[in-house]
Structure 1
Amino acid sequence: MTLRVVSGTANRPLAEAVAEGLRLDPTGCAVERFPDGELRPTVECVRGADVYVVQPTAPPVNEHVVELLLLLDACRRSGAARLTAVVPYFGYARQDRRSRAGQAVGARVIADALAAAGTDRLVVVDPHTAALEAMCPIRVEMVTAVPVLANALGSAPADPRVVVAPDLGAVKLAEHYASLLRGSVAVVRKHRVSGTVVRAEELVGDVEARHAVIVDDMISSGGTIEAAVRILLDHRAAPDIVVTATHGPLTEAATGCLRALDVDRILVTDSVAHRDTAAPLRVCSLAPLLTEVIARLHNDEQLDNLLLHT
């Protein structure tokens, strides 16, 4: 089968870099927008091809989800032999369970919609919940950007380095980073007051005079990171704190908040397109990782060393 890469509008530079890594030209795709907001994608003929649609469902999430579904349907109707949705940032992944009666399970709804659009397989990077694979009716390949980010962090400083999980949900992630960075692990116990306000209540682990790296799967409002930074400084961690996360769908308020904290670096990937990359934000590209993933899948090779292990 011929390999084809189709780019949505959510992050064309990433899709183009992936296509370049595969020595391909992106398959022609145009997305028409009607005055009332409707989208109508049109793709070149992909009959008989192994097609990979690259479209993170980053903010505005709803628009990019609908565009992804329509792109997948267009490829299916154009005769794709095999259809893979490459969704580095999977919107609605945080909605993997109901916290009270009357709520929806958004992750399951989107997973079902992807299957209904004709998708054969889904590729995601460090999803917020590992349960995504279990709830999805199609094959899911969950790969991780942790080795990429750990390499970008560089070698350890002369003094000890400690990897900090900003909440209990990030402990396994912190352990993965610590194994690569040869550091110890500390954990913050937090209480979420609201969607944007977080209070750090306890810190477990020795951080005094140590270089701290706060790790998470994503940064959105910045509240969790802000609380973690403040409790680290209260416990006399070294002031050159580094923050890293795979996904950075940062709100405008979050960007200002994080810069006000005066951290040394905030390292994220380009799973979400970033317009503002001024210091201290630094962006590490996922293109080499996704290029390798697509090449292996196209050739029916194993992804073992690239997969997220939970």
Structure 2
Amino acid sequence: MPRPLMRASSNEHRVAIFGGRSNPALANKIAEAYGTTLGDLSIRDFADGEIYVRFEESIRGADLFIIQSTHPKADNWMELLLLIDAAKRASAERVTAVIPYFGYARQERKDQPRVSIAAKLMANMLTSAGVDRILTMELHAAQIQGFFDVPVDHLYGSTVLTDHVRQFDLDDFVVLAPDVGGLKMARAYAQRLGVDLALIDKRRPRQNEARVMNVIGDVEGKDVLIIDDIVDTAGTLTRAAKALKDHGALKIMAACTHGLLSGPAYDRIENSPLERLMITDTVPLKRPSDCIEVVSVSNLFAKAIRHIYTDRSVSTLFTD
């Protein structure tokens, strides 16, 4: 008697992981943690700066994951869009953009007249390119997930950073939010670590400039961990560290998911009261520093890719 025909499940498609040029070290680590190697990919620049991409192996019917952080330059965005377009035209079954750092996420609202909502524009371009799913980490504003008409899996840097912080002595330890906007994130760290919470009230006279006004909470004679999602020019971070030292804090550390470290950031950090800045490898370091410690998120992304591929919940990766 002939066997009945069985409908193939989506999990029978092979998984294929590729990495763009924005963060090759992390892409290789994710593939290794998954138990595979990156697929063969050609990317080059024409003389005029145009980007050319080509998948050097068949991806027909594959469950495809493209790893590309989208920090500046804008070429990182363009490269990702071209890779998605090429993958769809090569008949990949599903294309997931793995974006460890989602660039332009800080421009997620129209808070002034005549400005762009850049985060929404980026979401529109990804959708137009044909992406089927987004996997990203620590969006500057969680509501950006609503800009997409495709599923978004949102990971949290705190998942790996809190595990790393637990190696320190947490007696007389305080978690601090550098501004009101970071209070929810800092509270999550404080709850996971079982420590007290403090806050800095500040005023920002212009972009990339912050003025510390007041420390709310008891930090005198205590070690303090400053929490933020992004450290860019490090002005907010180092001013917060100085204010904490002026208020009698002892050892001052910081944990930030995305280390952009632009402009004077390195000099500010190295000349500040900060003893240690812990960041993840969502964005590659411009140069090493004795004050900066990198914690890899490769294992977390590899687990998330496996959960997506096998149609399991991703949220279980960051719930206690």
TM, length-normalised to structure 1? 0.96
Residues paired across the two proteins, number: 307
* Pick aligned residue for 1:261 from 249, 255, 272: 272
State yes or no: 1:41 paired with 2:61.
no
Kept in 2: contact 1:145–1:289 (CA 8 A) = no
1:153 Cα offset (Å): 1.6
Question: Which structure 1 residue ranges, 5 or more long, are not aligned?
Answer: none
Q: Secondary structure at the match of 1:193?
A: strand
Match of 1:174 in 2: 186
State yes or no: 1:50 paired with 2:49.
no
Letter in 1 for 2:80: L
Distance 1:272 1:78 in 2: 29
Q: Secondary structure at the match of 1:216?
A: strand
State yes or no: 1:293 paired with 2:301.
no
Kept in 2: contact 1:55–1:85 (CA 8 A) = yes
Match of 2:72 in 1: 59
Match of 1:279 in 2: 290
Q: After superposition, what is the alpha-carbon deviation per residue over 1:86-139, rounded to whole angstroms, capped at 9, x for unaligned?
A: 001000101110121111100000001000111000011011010111111211
Match of 2:222 in 1: 210
Match of 1:162 in 2: 174
TM, length-normalised to structure 2? 0.93
Match of 1:186 in 2: 198
Q: After superposition, what is the alpha-carbon deviation per residue over 1:173-219, rounded to whole angstroms, capped at 9, x for unaligned?
A: 11111112211110111111222321011211111101000000010
Match of 1:86 in 2: 98
1:223 Cα offset (Å): 1.1
CA RMSD of aligned residues (A): 1.4
Following TM superposition, the consecutive aligned residue runs of length 4 or more in structure 1 with deviations greater than 3 angstroms are: none
Kept in 2: contact 1:277–1:283 (CA 8 A) = no
1:72 Cα offset (Å): 0.7
**1:305–1:22: structure 2 CA closer, same or farther, 3 Å change rule?**
same
**1:158–1:67: structure 2 CA closer, same or farther, 3 Å change rule?**
closer
Distance 1:15 1:190 in 2: 37
Match of 2:34 in 1: 22
Question: Which structure 2 residue ranges, 5 or more long, are not aligned?
Answer: 1-12
Distance 1:288 1:142 in 2: 15
**1:138–1:308: structure 2 CA closer, same or farther, 3 Å change rule?**
farther
Letter in 2 for 1:275: K
Greater Rg by CA: 2
1:156 Cα offset (Å): 4.5
Kept in 2: contact 1:85–1:123 (CA 8 A) = yes
- Identity, % of aligned pairs? 32
